[in-house]
């Protein structure tokens, strides 16, 4: 579909913004001649004249309006702020003078009436005549408030006898969630969620609350709502049988970012397609964006009271953003850099004046200790989320500031009262603030009077503090855009993006813009962006469009949840109950904050202490996780909505609490002071930006050199050079390194468990490449843990490298290799460039490089090695492989290392949803979007006897597992070709068991054992199995005793289970033995264990019901006639010396692979069926004839 065929284009995109109150900015007073003020007596005499019988009602109203406006203008002329219209000026006056609720309502009613004078909806003469006394009272009250002079009794006698009623004051229900049943052009039939009652929702012009007395048009809902859609009805009033909401929110669980909504208000269109086009663009790295980030740092400095010299502040910023600064095209010359610094210096001075001085004068009781920088908010009511730049809260009142470092809207110099120091706000910036205001009003239920100031800070201007008032029509347009964005994303996730094939700049130009800006800049930019889609081959376009839909569906499921995973999706923050969150391990609750760490006048770290009554930690949080921290009242359920939320990263988790590093430092611990009866909670965070970088990278694929596109889509064979020889000697790995060197573009290494794919495969390739002078190497992996492992191998080998990423995502051992750390002593761009140019090895996660791809514009990498490649989906790597410099690929050759028989990437979509039906794509091996590029290319290189040796090398010698442990995985999953190296621990010699305990004898006599468990007598949860928990704890205890002085919590014992809940049960059972060091052994899911190993591994199956087998064996596929259970493969191959399996044999036997495994163990004498009580006591004997095996020992 074209944009013109879609419902978001059914109303005029260029709605006349003159209806809004931001028609003109207030004029600066400091640049003009001092104005003589009108005394109050003259105002009162003028109001008395309005009562003359010689005047018509309308003329009297105009005189009252004249006094009303002039009194306001006279008062705000002394304010250090700039205002966007009459509402913001009156609002400022009301709050500065402490006006009461009734008086404030009176003043606003008159303001609204004056705004309608001369407009299309001017009140009729009869209504004007009836309301004239209250407008007279409002104007007189205004004069009294601004001057202090009492109202003359003669005027007071004409005031109305009773106060006017505000019809907006009351409503019946704050929020109704419902599901659409049917609709026509006037009524939406909704079944409300709580009681199942059917409601008739009026959404036409009769609902003046919804349309704001005709300022908004909701007819577009008729085109996007369908039966089954969820809606929020906000602030509902019942009139007879009709439901009259103030707002209708489409699919509210799909949160849309406020900045995304604002970005859709462009000069050429007001359309959700503007957002889509923006996502296709390369990640922006311009001097304007860098300046915005730098001025944000200036704002932080000012709020925190840091008098940082300009040069020092710029240097600090440069060190943190070195790659962006070096790669920015607008900062390549000396003149460009000097202009940047000059602009930044002026903005620093403006911020210090506006925020450090003017703001204090404008806000009563301003205190920097009450300022929160960059708080995050989520609104389930409005279906939006946002991050404010600045929030000041005190005594229930709030001040919001949104900072902008760029220009305001264009104002001709010939305009009356033009002042270059006063900005006119851009509409998109106003949209952003209006939505923040709506968020506080509708989600937080704050009264308008509590919102003291809503301000735009244009730091480019000396008088850049702009007060923004209510703009009902613009707010309705913003909500409309939010609804349309949600509809577009959900619609295209299901229906695809085929319309992109015919999308053109002219079809996007909904405002029919002409002129220089459109012709010379906007239109050519859009043409360049869309051209690769139009010129792509059918196969390239099919690939692009299929993964566009795949990414959209993943984003949708990440927001609203997946059918296959409980407590999934960000919406679980408010949809899941506290008990469901506890079960999923997705929340810390009842926390108290302490140990606030100050750095440079700001709180940067704190500890969230667990409650004393807290049991074993069974959550799924880990070091490095990005989380949300928010308060809630004790005794209530934690809820991230309607709260100020701080984003943080977990530095450490101990029995004492969770150590957090705040992503934005705060001014004072008082920011976190919530008084008695307030607790804190932690939940997982999610960023939309990561999805957007993948879309941008996918679009970059269409612009990659044609040869690279053909290679990645298997349209040509990769180049090889059989004449290449090795420069180094790598022993048994010479064959691997040689074949990888002879491959000129693409090479795959299959690395089964324990085969040393990183220790030897990756490291030897790096060593050989470094012998080639003048070449650079890029090392990538999916997880930070894997990148840390690569860093460790490089460090052990004495190879210098730079790590890309943040400090919190990097092991402390390698933080000195971070780019930000390495450039700390650099003072010039030339020095930083030298550090980057002089380093030959770079490493990082695919996510960090996708978010910051500019390294690939600064350097050409002859070789990129991608570890964990079988866990990386195609969109996560395709954009990096498509990067180019000077028309050539930025990465010369890529080596992918992985094992498609271990756990794949975590994907929300089912096999059916991710299936590929396009025959052209299926012909190149793309049958399932959930598969990795590594796996697809493996199918390309399959031969009758295995794999093409020119492009694939298979590691077959593993040095981890004892040969008896490895035997079943080798036979079942690797066709028998996975063999031991062997190392000494893989063929240990037997000796006598030091204990008569049956478990100890089992551990010393059988490398592989299966222990039968009985079903629990009564279980309240199928995800916990107390019988198995006690049996596993007994095994852990005996393994600990066998280890003796050699016990190492990081190496000796590990427990793997499928469910988070079972972790807590096992840890509680282990703790009963009273051995403190055992509390810290790793008990985790198989997904978390991938890449790890222990001497002793116990795998508890846990399951109690037949349907749970689907989850347990959910990562299974068939290859060469054999079922490959990836999860079981990973679980079994974590053990070095001994593996014990614990499970219900009758249930597990229903699965073919599990039945084969039990038969395998039984045939080797390791199958035990002993009652739980006797087993835990060790009161049993091993089968006769079993030989003892060696104790754990160090490798030689």
Does the pLDDT value for residue 1170 go beyond 60? yes
Residue 956, Cβ neighbours under 10 Å: how many? 13
Q: What domains are there in the chain, each with its CATH number?
A: 36-76+85-156 (no CATH), 572-685 (2.40.30.270), 689-716+729-955 (3.40.50.300), 963-1177 (3.40.50.300)
Report the C-alpha gap between 79 and 27 in whole angstroms: 11
Provide, rounded to the nearest whole percent, the portion of the chain with pLDDT above 70.
94
Longest dimension (CA), the chain: 121
Does the pLDDT value for residue 617 go beyond 80? no
More confident residue, 643 or 1160: 1160
**CA 1084 from chain center: how many Å?**
25
Strand partners, 1124: 1117
Using left for φ > 0, alpha for ψ between -120 and 50, and beta otherwise, residue 604 falls in: alpha
pLDDT score, position 673: 80
Q: Are 516 and 36 in contact (CB under 8 A)?
A: no
User: Considering the chain, what is the average pLDDT of its residues?
Assistant: 90
pLDDT score, position 183: 96
**How does pLDDT run across 543-552, given as a tens digit for each residue?**
999 999 999 9
* 1015-to-1022, 1026, 1172 alpha-carbon distances in Å: 11, 9, 10
Average pLDDT over residues 274-295: 95
**How does pLDDT run across 497-521, given as a tens digit for each residue?**
999 999 999 999 999 999 899 999 9
Average pLDDT over residues 431-458: 89
Does the pLDDT value for residue 1046 go beyond 70? yes
pLDDT band at 1161 (very low <50, low <70, confident <90, very high): very high
More confident residue, 122 or 784: 784
Q: Are 879 and 853 in contact (CB under 8 A)?
A: yes
Residue 764, Cβ neighbours under 10 Å: how many? 23
Report the C-alpha gap between 1033 and 1010 in whole angstroms: 15
Report the C-alpha gap between 615 and 590 in whole angstroms: 12
pLDDT score, position 565: 67
Report the C-alpha gap between 532 and 705 in whole angstroms: 12
pLDDT band at 168 (very low <50, low <70, confident <90, very high): low
* Sign of the dihedral through C-alpha 102, 104, 105, 109: positive
Contact partners, residue 140, CB within 8 Å, separation at least 6: 44, 47, 151, 155, 156, 159
pLDDT score, position 1: 42
Report the C-alpha gap between 1186 and 1183 in whole angstroms: 6
**How does pLDDT run across 1115-1147, given as a tens digit for each residue?**
999 998 999 999 999 999 999 999 999 999 999
Does the pLDDT value for residue 1064 go beyond 50? yes
Average pLDDT over residues 49-64: 90
pLDDT band at 989 (very low <50, low <70, confident <90, very high): low
Query: 982: cis peptide before it, omega within 30°?
Result: yes
More confident residue, 729 or 1020: 729
Average pLDDT over residues 454-469: 93
Q: At 60, which helix (H) or strand (E)?
A: helix 57-76
* Residue 46 burial (C-beta neighbours within 10 Å; 0-12, 13-18, 19+): middle
pLDDT band at 1018 (very low <50, low <70, confident <90, very high): confident
pLDDT score, position 853: 93
Q: Could you give the residue ranges of the DSSP H alpha helices within 77-191?
A: 86-97, 101-116, 125-147, 153-156
Q: At 610, which helix (H) or strand (E)?
A: none
Report the C-alpha gap between 1067 and 1055 in whole angstroms: 10
Does the pLDDT value for residue 15 go beyond 80? no
Q: Are 215 and 167 in contact (CB under 8 A)?
A: no
Provide, rounded to the nearest whole percent, the portion of the chain with pLDDT above 90.
68
**How does pLDDT run across 929-944, given as a tens digit for each residue?**
999 999 999 999 999 9
Does the pLDDT value for residue 482 go beyond 90? yes
Contact partners, residue 1151, CB within 8 Å, separation at least 6: 1109, 1112, 1113
Phi and psi (nearest 5°) for 862?
A: -65, -30
* Residue 349 burial (C-beta neighbours within 10 Å; 0-12, 13-18, 19+): middle
């Amino acid at each position: 579909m074209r944009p013109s065929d879609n419902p978001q284009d059914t109303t005029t995109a260029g709605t006349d913004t003159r209806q809004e109150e931001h028609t003109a900015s207030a004029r600066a007073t400091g640049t003009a001649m001092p104005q003589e003020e009108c005394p109050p007596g003259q105002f009162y005499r003028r109001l008395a004249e309005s009562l003359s019988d010689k005047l018509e009602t309308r003329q009297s109203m105009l005189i009252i309006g004249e006094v009303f406006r002039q009194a306001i203008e006279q008062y705000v002329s002394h304010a250090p702020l700039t205002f966007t219209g009459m509402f913001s000026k009156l609002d400022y006056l009301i709050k500065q003078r402490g006006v009461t609720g009734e008086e404030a309502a009176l003043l606003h009613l008159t303001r609204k009436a004056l705004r309608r004078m001369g407009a299309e909806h001017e009140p009729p003469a009869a209504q004007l005549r009836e309301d004239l006394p209250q407008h007279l009272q409002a104007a007189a009250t205004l004069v009294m408030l601004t001057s202090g002079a009492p109202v003359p009794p003669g005027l007071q006698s004409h005031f109305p006898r009773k106060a006017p009623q505000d019809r907006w004051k009351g409503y019946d229900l704050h929020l109704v969630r419902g599901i659409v049943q049917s609709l026509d052009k006037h009524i939406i039939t909704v079944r409300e969620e709580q009681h199942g009652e059917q409601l008739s929702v009026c959404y036409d012009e009769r609902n003046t609350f919804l349309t704001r007395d005709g300022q908004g048009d909701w007819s577009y809902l008729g085109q996007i709502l369908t039966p089954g859609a969820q809606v929020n009805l906000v602030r509902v009033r019942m009139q007879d049988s009709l439901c009259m909401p103030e707002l209708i929110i489409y699919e509210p669980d799909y949160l849309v970012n406020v900045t995304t909504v604002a970005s859709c208000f462009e000069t050429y269109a007001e359309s959700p397609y503007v957002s889509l086009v923006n996502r296709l663009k390369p990640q922006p790295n311009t001097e304007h964006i860098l300046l915005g980030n730098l001025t944000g740092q200036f704002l932080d400095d000012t709020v925190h009271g840091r008098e940082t010299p300009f040069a020092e502040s710029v240097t600090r910023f440069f060190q943190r953003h070195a790659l962006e600064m070096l790669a920015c095209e607008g900062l390549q010359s000396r003149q460009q850099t000097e202009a940047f610094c000059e602009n930044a210096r002026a903005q620093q001075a403006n911020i210090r004046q506006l925020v450090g001085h003017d703001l204090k004068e404008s806000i009563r009781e301003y205190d920097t200790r009450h300022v929160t920088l960059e708080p995050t908010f989520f609104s389930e009511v409005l279906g939006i989320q946002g991050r404010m730049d600045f929030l000041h809260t005190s005594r229930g009142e709030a001040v919001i500031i949104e900072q902008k470092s760029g220009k305001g809207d264009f104002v001709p110099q010939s305009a009356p009262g033009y002042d270059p120091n006063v900005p006119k706000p851009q509409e998109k910036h106003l949209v952003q603030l209006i939505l923040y205001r709506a968020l506080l009003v509708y989600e937080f239920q704050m009264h308008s009077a509590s919102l003291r100031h809503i301000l735009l800070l244009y730091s480019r201007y000396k008088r850049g503090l702009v007060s923004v008032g209510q703009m009902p029509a613009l707010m309705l347009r913003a909500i409309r855009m939010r609804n349309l964005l949600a509809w577009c994303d959900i619609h295209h996730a299901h229906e695809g993006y085929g319309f992109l094939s015919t999308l053109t700049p002219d079809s996007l130009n909904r405002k029919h813009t002409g002129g220089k800006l459109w012709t010379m800049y906007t239109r050519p930019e859009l043409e360049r962006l869309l051209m690769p889609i139009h010129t792509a081959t059918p196969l390239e376009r099919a690939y692009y469009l299929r993964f566009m839909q795949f990414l959209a569906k993943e984003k949708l499921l990440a927001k609203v949840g997946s059918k296959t995973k409980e407590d999934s999706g960000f919406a679980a923050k408010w949809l899941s109950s506290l008990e469901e969150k506890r079960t999923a391990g997705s929340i810390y609750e009842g926390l108290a904050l302490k140990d606030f760490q100050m750095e440079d006048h700001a709180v940067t770290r704190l500890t969230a202490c667990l409650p004393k009554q807290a049991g074993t930690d069974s959550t799924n949080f880990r070091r490095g996780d990005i989380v949300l921290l928010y308060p809630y009242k004790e005794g209530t359920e934690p809820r991230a909505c309607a709260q100020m939320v701080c984003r943080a990263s977990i530095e450490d988790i101990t029995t004492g609490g969770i150590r957090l590093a705040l992503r934005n430092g705060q001014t004072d611990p008082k920011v976190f002071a919530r008084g008695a009866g307030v607790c804190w909670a932690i939940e997982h965070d999610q960023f939309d930006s990561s999805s957007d970088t993948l879309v941008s990278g996918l679009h970059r694929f269409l612009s990659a050199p044609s040869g690279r596109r053909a290679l990645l889509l298997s349209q040509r064979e990769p180049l090889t050079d059989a004449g290449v020889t090795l420069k180094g000697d790598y022993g048994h790995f010479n064959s691997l390194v040689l074949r990888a060197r002879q491959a000129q573009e693409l090479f795959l290494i299959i690395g089964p468990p324990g085969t040393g794919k990183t220790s030897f495969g990756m490291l030897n390739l790096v060593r050989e490449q470094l012998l080639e002078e003048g070449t650079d190497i890029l090392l990538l992996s999916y997880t930070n843990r894997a990148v840390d492992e690569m860093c460790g191998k490089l460090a052990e080998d004495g190879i210098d490298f730079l790590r890309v990423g943040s400090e919190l995502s990097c092991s402390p051992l390698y933080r000195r290799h971070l780019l930000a750390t390495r450039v700390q002593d650099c003072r010039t761009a030339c020095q930083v460039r030298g550090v980057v140019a002089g380093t030959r090895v770079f490493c990082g996660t695919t996510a960090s490089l996708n978010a910051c791809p500019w390294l690939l514009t600064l350097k050409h990498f002859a070789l990129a090695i991608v570890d964990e490649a079988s866990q990386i989906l195609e969109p996560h790597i395709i954009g990096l492989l498509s990067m180019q410099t000077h028309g050539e690929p930025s990465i010369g050759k890529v080596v992918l290392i992985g094992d498609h028989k271990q756990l794949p990437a975590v994907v929300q979509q089912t096999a059916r949803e991710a299936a590929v039906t396009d025959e052209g794509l299926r012909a190149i091996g793309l049958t399932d979007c959930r598969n990795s590029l590594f796996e697809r290319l493996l199918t390309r290189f399959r031969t009758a006897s295995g794999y093409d040796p020119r492009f694939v090398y298979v590691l077959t010698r593993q040095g981890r597992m004892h040969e008896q442990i490895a035997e079943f995985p080798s036979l079942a999953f690797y066709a028998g070709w996975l063999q031991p190296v062997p190392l000494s621990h893989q063929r240990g010699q037997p000796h006598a068991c030091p204990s008569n305990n049956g478990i100890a004898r089992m551990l010393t006599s059988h490398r592989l054992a299966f222990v039968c468990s009985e079903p629990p007598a009564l279980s309240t949860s199928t995800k916990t199995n107390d019988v198995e928990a006690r049996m596993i704890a007994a095994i852990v205890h005996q393994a600990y005793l066998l280890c003796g002085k050699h016990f190492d919590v990081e190496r000796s014992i590990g427990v793997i289970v499928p469910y988070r809940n079972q972790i807590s049960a096992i840890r509680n059972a282990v703790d009963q033995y009273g051995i403190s060091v055992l509390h810290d052994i790793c008990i985790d899911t198989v997904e978390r264990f991938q890449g790890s190993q222990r001497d002793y591994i116990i795998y508890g199956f846990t399951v109690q019901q037949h349907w749970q087998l689907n989850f347990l064996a959910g990562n299974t596929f068939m290859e060469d006639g054999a079922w490959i259970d990836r999860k079981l493969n990973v679980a079994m191959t974590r053990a070095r010396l001994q593996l014990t399996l614990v499970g219900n044999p009758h249930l597990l036997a229903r699965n073919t692979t599990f039945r084969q495994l039990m038969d395998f163990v039984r045939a080797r004498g390791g199958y035990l069926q002993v009652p739980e009580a006797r087993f835990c006591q060790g009161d049993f004997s091993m089968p006769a004839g079993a030989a003892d095996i060696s104790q754990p020992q160090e490798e030689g």
